[in-house]
Amino acid sequence: MSVYRVIDKLENVVKEGVWLPFGGRIVNADRVLDLIEKLRGTLPDDVSRAKQVTRDRDRLIEQAKEEAHTLVAEAQQAKDRATSDSEVTHNAVTKAQAIIAEAEERARDIRRGADDYADQVLAALDSTLVRASAAVQKGRQALAAPSAASIRPNGSKAQEKSSI
C-alpha cells in the first residue's frame, strides 16, 4: 500500500469521527493505530528506493571517473608514442587534449545528471515524508483532544461512540 493511500485512509478515519463540543472528535483509535503501523511499514520502501538511487548515482560517477582515467591514460599513451617530429608531436598533443577535454566533459555531464536525478528522487521522498508526518501529527492531535471536550455544556458527560 502506498504512503499516500494510507494517509488518505487516516484522514478519512479522522473525518468520520464523531464531533464533540468545542471542536473535538472521537475516532477509532485501533483503526488509526493500524493505519499508522501501515504507514511505518510503507516508508522503508521509499527510503530503500532513495538509497538505491544514491547507490546508482555513486556507481555512475565511479564509472565516469574510470572512463575519464582510461581516456586520460590512452591519451597519455598516445602522446608518449608520438615521435619527436614536431608536427606529429603537435597533432598528438592536440588530440590528447581534445580526448581529455571530452572525457572530462562527459564525466561532468554524467555526474550532473546523476546528481539531478538523485536530488529529484530525494526531494520527492522529502515531500512524501513531510506529508506523512503532517498526517500522523494531525491524527495524534485528533486523538489527544482535551478530555474537557467530552463534557457537555450542561455538565453531563457525552457518551463516546466507537466506530469499529
Tens digits of residue pLDDT in 104-141 = 999 999 989 888 888 898 898 889 999 989 889 988 99
Grade residue 151 by pLDDT with cuts at 50, 70 and 90.
low
Task: Report how far residue 47's alpha carbon sits from residue 43's, in angstroms, rounded to the nearest whole number.
Answer: 6
Please compute Rg for the chain using Cα positions: 31
Collapsing DSSP states into helix, strand and coil, what is residue 37?
Answer: helix
Instruction: Judge whether residue 149 has pLDDT over 70.
Output: no
What is the C-alpha separation between 111 and 68, in angstroms, rounded?
A: 12
pLDDT of residue 96: 93
- Rounded CA-CA distance 143/139 in Å is 6
pTM above 0.85, yes or no: no
